[in-house]
Amino acid sequence: MFNFEKEGQDKKIKAIRHVVRPSISYNINPAFDKYYDTVEVVSADGDIVEDVEYTRFENSIFGMPNKNYSSSLGLNLSNNFEAKVRDKDSTATEAKKIILLNNLNFSTSYNFAGDSLQWSPLRVTGGTQILDNKMAINFGATLDPYTLDNNNRKTNTFNIDNGGSLFRLTSANLTMNYTLNSDTFSGIDESRTNSREENLRSGGRADDLFGVAQDFADQSLNNNNQKDEEEPSALYNYKIPWSLRLAYAVNYSNSARENDISSHSLMFSGDIEFSPRWTVGASSGYDLKNKGFTYTQLRFERDLLSWRMNFSWVPFSSRSSWNFFIGIKSSVLKDIKYDKQKQRDQQL
């Protein structure tokens, strides 16, 4: 805890708290090199072209066994930074707590069994939230302690011993997400909570910037049947509910001295409720590197009380498709439905 308060002074920053959580892990993997054989590839002329390693477990359900023995020690250091500042509200009796960095993590490992390149690259990740927690910023970088030869292959020489810096930046990434909402600007869209939770469990994003699942028959991806029934009104409220999610992502790659921006894009996703039971949404973006639109999806949804209707359309790209669904909300009668879809074009 770093305390900046002094008697008789009312400073803007009262104190800063830094929490450090170190952790150590040990991992050992046996070698199954006895299950590997070397076969000779012979050309039509009878000449040996190359020697190829082969295992009978190749392309099996559980994959190939590990060939190399490893005994590594993992090191991880996580950090959290918070501050107490003077509240803008003059009537507040206590200082306001804000988060400077949600997390700042450093991780690497050392392989005792390796004969070279025993240190793995240092991975740095971090994240924070600004603008009253409306904008989330996440960043990451990979730092390699070893140098490259003239053929851009990693050698067993530390970069600092070769006249360079302590680490060599091989990759970096930055993502920023900002959410707007017509009501509370909280960044939470209640109508798609279940869909996002399902997407997260599948390893996807927490939003629909890359579109939403098109299996409309799956009740877990639609939560309209859980909405409270709204009281009928002769006139629709002039305030049209809407939500907009913006995201910016850039990735840098320099593993083999390419010094290149591998991806650079700006994406958006939004929904507008034109009436109490009509919702229109869209997800798209622009690739700043390749100068073109990213994956684009248009969504139309109609709540028919005991029924529901959905239409999703991907207008262009190699994954161009559409999906129409109408069916009963009740899980007991969920087999009473009609769905039609156009699959994306088959490619070799």
Tell me which amino acid residue 209 is. L
Average pLDDT of the residues in 135-141: 94
Residue 219 has pLDDT above 60, yes or no: no
Distance CA 123, CA 126 (A): 10
Kindly report, residue by residue over 83-102, the tens digit of the pLDDT. Answer: 998 887 777 778 888 889 99
Q: Please, what is the end-to-end C-alpha distance for the chain in angstroms?
A: 60
pLDDT in the model for residue 23: 97
**288 or 276: which leads in pLDDT:** 288
Kindly report, residue by residue over 35-46, the tens digit of the pLDDT. Answer: 888 888 887 777
pLDDT in the model for residue 216: 55
**47 or 228: which leads in pLDDT:** 47
pLDDT in the model for residue 5: 83
Distance CA 106, CA 254 (A): 20
Distance CA 326, CA 302 (A): 9
Average pLDDT of the residues in 18-42: 91
How far is C-alpha 134 from the geometric centre of its chain's CA atoms? 17
Sequence-distant (6+) residues with CB within 8 A of 296 are 282, 283, 284, 285, 314, 315, 316, 317
Residue 227 has pLDDT above 90, yes or no: no
Kindly report, residue by residue over 100-114, the tens digit of the pLDDT. Answer: 999 999 999 999 998
Kindly report, residue by residue over 74-84, the tens digit of the pLDDT. Answer: 999 999 999 99
Average pLDDT of the residues in 271-299: 90
Distance CA 247, CA 125 (A): 18
Distance CA 130, CA 138 (A): 11
pLDDT in the model for residue 217: 57
3-state secondary structure of 34: helix
CA geometry: angle 306, 307, 312, nearest 5 deg:
150
Distance CA 99, CA 308 (A): 42
Distance CA 285, CA 144 (A): 33
pLDDT grade for 172, boundaries at 50, 70 and 90: very high
Sequence-distant (6+) residues with CB within 8 A of 150 are none
Task: Kindly report each contact of residues 313-321 with a partner whose C-beta sits within 8 Å and lies 24 or more positions away, as own/partner.
Answer: 314/211, 314/344, 318/344, 318/345, 318/347, 319/295, 319/344, 320/344, 320/345, 321/214
What is the percentage of the chain residues whose pLDDT exceeds 90?
A: 40
**pTM > 0.85: yes or no:** no
